[in-house]
């Protein structure tokens, strides 16, 4: 095996277990469909190679996990056995060598890694906290006043009448943002709802510092929605955080970010390296722990989900000057996908982007469509015009633009 490939036995073992779960758990694959498609062959090869190992205990445990991919105990047992197998020095069978090679390949090219969670997850979690309970538990401290504001957190949002998971998630995010170690009067929380009508204004207007409605009858346009939030809700904050309405943050989230920008040369950063996309049960556990039990953050080690490695979106911090200098986000993106990647590519062209390891998690919700009826990804509408082609002098974030421009206009 190449010296440039991963070789640490525990990491390779975890990768094989992850591949087996991904192959047999459709929910895990939907975390990032494109990323799954690009690495599916490697995961299938790793899972097939695993079943060729001449060890009845390993094959039996792998069979249990394949039949029940959420079985945390089986996942832990399999990873332990594979770590021991891949740690043995000396002569090895061709099957073991093939398994090591397959595991190293998936570790080298896949952006998906399943984290099985604690093996004692057979104990049912308490029900997911409701939206009303989360908003009732909000820390209602003094809001924006005469004090200078260090940062503004802009949350783009859309949820249909029956999308209760997305509504619950936003309530949890607002709850966590109200419980911060940074002085409450020094940061602003801006929610921008973009839809055909302000469906959730009565629910969320009093739960944030600024609620903005951006009318749009078409597919959800995250870029335009964020731009509206920065122009009409975030200024004059020095720092802007673009935060999706399903990212649960810890208590020091804002304080750490503000401190990081005091370092000379710092202009933008992702506060995380790998984002943990939680399954429904772990989402309920994380929300209850962080928002109702008063924990400083979710206990990631006990939560099941899929790590998405170095994703471009979800949460990005940058100086407002940089946001404005690049013309905000590209408003030609309509529908899920592509806008975050384009945005950070353009931001990094003008200012350095750092990465940190904060404990953020992505809460579960039904996935939005990311392709048209003909199977074409929405982002290809802009790709034809060219990624990173949005003009820096764009007149972005205009509320009187009822229908954001289509690609190529």
SS (HEC) of the chain = CCCCCCCCHHHHHHHHHHHHHHHHCHHHHCCCHHHHHHHHHHHHHHHHHHCCCCCHHHHHHHHHHHHCCCCHHHHHHHHHHHHHHHHCCCCCCHHHHHHHHHHHHHHHHCCEEEECCCCCCCCCCCCCCCHHHHHHCCCCCCCCCCCCCCEEEEEEECCCCCCHHHHHHHHHHHHHHHCCCCCHHHEEEEEEEEECCCCCHHHHHHHCCEEEEEECCCCCCHHHHHHHHHHHHHCCCCEEEEECCCEECCCCHHHHHHHHCCCCCCCEEECCCEEEEECHHHHHHHHHHHHHCCCCCCCHHHCCEEEEECCCCCEEEEEHHHHHHCCCCCCCCCCCCCHHHHHHHHHHHHCCEEECCCCCEECCCCCCCCECCCCCECCHHHHCCCCCCCCCCCCCCCCCCCCCCCCCC
226 and 98 in one domain? Answer: no
Residues 6+ apart with CB under 8 A from 41: none
Q: Between 395 and 408, whose confidence is greater? A: 395
- pLDDT of 39 higher than 50: yes
338 and 243 in one domain? Answer: yes
pLDDT at residue 104, rounded to an integer = 94
- pLDDT of 108 higher than 50: yes
CATH code for the domain of 373: 3.90.550.10
Query: pLDDT tens digit string along 292-322?
Result: 999 999 888 889 999 999 999 999 999 999 9
201 and 95 in one domain? Answer: no
pLDDT at residue 74, rounded to an integer = 96
- Tell me the average pLDDT across 232-249: 95
- pLDDT of 82 higher than 90: yes
pLDDT at residue 406, rounded to an integer = 46
- pLDDT of 199 higher than 80: yes
355 and 319 in one domain? Answer: yes
318 and 368 in one domain? Answer: yes
pLDDT at residue 292, rounded to an integer = 93
pLDDT at residue 263, rounded to an integer = 95
Tell me whether residue 388 is in a domain. Answer: no
Q: pLDDT grade, residue 124 (50/70/90)? A: low
The answer to whether residues 219 and 334 touch, using CB atoms and an 8 Å cutoff, is yes
- Tell me the average pLDDT across 143-162: 85
Q: What's the rounded Cα separation, in Å, for the pair 288 and 338?
A: 32
pLDDT at residue 408, rounded to an integer = 37
233 and 378 in one domain? Answer: yes
The answer to whether residues 391 and 327 touch, using CB atoms and an 8 Å cutoff, is yes
pLDDT at residue 338, rounded to an integer = 85
pLDDT at residue 383, rounded to an integer = 60
75 and 217 in one domain? Answer: no
Tell me whether residue 4 is in a domain. Answer: no
- pLDDT of 145 higher than 90: no
- pLDDT of 369 higher than 60: no
263 and 146 in one domain? Answer: yes
Q: What's the rounded Cα separation, in Å, for the pair 97 and 320?
A: 52
- pLDDT of 122 higher than 50: no
- pLDDT of 98 higher than 80: yes
Tell me whether residue 403 is in a domain. Answer: no
Residue 320: other Cβ atoms inside 10 A: 17
- pLDDT of 41 higher than 70: yes
Bridge partners for 308 per DSSP? 112, 275
Residue 38: other Cβ atoms inside 10 A: 14
Query: The tokens 């049960």 sit on which residue?
Result: 281
Of the listed ranges 125-139, 239-253, 280-294, the least confidently predicted one is: 125-139
- Tell me the average pLDDT across 196-211: 95
Q: Are strands 239-243 and 315-319 parallel, antiparallel or unpaired?
A: antiparallel
138 and 101 in one domain? Answer: no
Tell me whether residue 354 is in a domain. Answer: yes
Q: Between 383 and 133, whose confidence is greater? A: 133
Query: pLDDT tens digit string along 14-38?
Result: 999 999 999 999 989 988 888 999 9
pLDDT at residue 279, rounded to an integer = 92
pLDDT at residue 382, rounded to an integer = 61
- pLDDT of 187 higher than 50: yes
- pLDDT of 148 higher than 90: no
Tell me whether residue 24 is in a domain. Answer: yes
- Tell me, yes or no, if the pTM score tops 0.85: yes
Q: What's the rounded Cα separation, in Å, for the pair 314 and 361?
A: 10
Tokens of 262: 């005091």
pLDDT at residue 298, rounded to an integer = 86
pLDDT at residue 378, rounded to an integer = 53
Tokens of 307: 């790590």
The answer to whether residues 358 and 250 touch, using CB atoms and an 8 Å cutoff, is yes
- Rounded to whole angstroms, the maximal C-alpha distance in the chain is 72
237 and 107 in one domain? Answer: no
Tell me whether residue 272 is in a domain. Answer: yes
220 and 346 in one domain? Answer: yes
Tell me whether residue 405 is in a domain. Answer: no
Q: What's the rounded Cα separation, in Å, for the pair 57 and 60?
A: 5
Give me the domain span that covers residue 163: 131-383
pLDDT at residue 33, rounded to an integer = 87
231 and 83 in one domain? Answer: no
- pLDDT of 123 higher than 90: no
Bridge partners for 113 per DSSP? 307
Tell me whether residue 122 is in a domain. Answer: no
Nearest to 72 by CA among 282, 287, 273: 282
Total number of domains constituting the chain: 2
Signed CA dihedral, 255, 259, 260, 265: sign only: positive
């Amino acid at each position: 095996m190449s010296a440039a490939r991963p070789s640490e036995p525990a990491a390779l073992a975890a990768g094989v277990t992850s591949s087996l779960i991904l192959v047999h758990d459709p929910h895990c694959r939907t975390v990032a469909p494109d990323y799954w498609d690009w690495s599916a062959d490697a995961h299938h090869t790793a899972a097939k190679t695993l079943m060729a190992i001449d060890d009845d205990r390993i094959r039996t445990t792998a069979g249990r996990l394949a039949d029940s991919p959420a079985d945390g105990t089986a996942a832990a047992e399999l990873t332990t056995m594979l770590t021991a197998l891949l740690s043995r020095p000396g002569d090895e069978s061709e099957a073991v060598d093939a398994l090591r090679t397959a595991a190293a390949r998936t570790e080298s090219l896949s952006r998906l890694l399943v984290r099985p969670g604690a093996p004692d997850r057979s104990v049912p979690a308490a029900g997911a906290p409701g939206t009303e309970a989360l908003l009732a538990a909000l820390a209602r401290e003094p809001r924006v006043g005469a004090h200078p504001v260090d940062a503004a957190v802009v949350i783009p949002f859309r949820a249909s009448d029956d999308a209760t998971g997305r509504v619950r998630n936003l309530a949890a995010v607002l709850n966590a943002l109200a419980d911060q170690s940074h002085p409450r009067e020094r940061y602003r929380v801006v929610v921008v709802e973009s839809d055909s009508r302000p469906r959730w204004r009565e629910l969320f207007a009093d739960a944030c510092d600024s609620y903005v409605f951006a009318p749009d009858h078409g597919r959800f346009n995250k870029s335009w929605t964020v731009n509206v939030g920065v122009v009409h809700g975030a200024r004059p904050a020095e720092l802007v955080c673009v935060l999706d309405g399903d990212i649960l943050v810890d208590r020091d989230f804002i304080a750490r970010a503000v401190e990081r920008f005091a370092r000379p040369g710092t202009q933008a950063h992702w506060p995380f390296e790998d984002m943990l996309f939680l399954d429904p049960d772990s989402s309920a556990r994380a929300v209850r722990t962080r928002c109702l039990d008063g924990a400083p953050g979710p206990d990631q080690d006990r939560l099941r989900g899929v790590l998405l490695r170095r994703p471009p979106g979800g949460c990005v911090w940058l100086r407002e000057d940089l946001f404005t200098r690049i013309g905000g986000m590209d408003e030609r993106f309509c529908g899920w996908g592509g806008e975050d990647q384009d945005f950070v590519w353009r931001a990094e062209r003008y200012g350095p982007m750092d990465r940190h390891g904060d404990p953020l998690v992505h809460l579960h919700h039904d996935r939005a469509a990311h392709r048209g009826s003909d199977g074409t990804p929405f982002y290809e509408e802009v790709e034809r015009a060219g990624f990173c082609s949005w003009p820096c002098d764009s007149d972005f974030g205009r509320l009187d633009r009822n229908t954001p421009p289509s690609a190529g206009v």
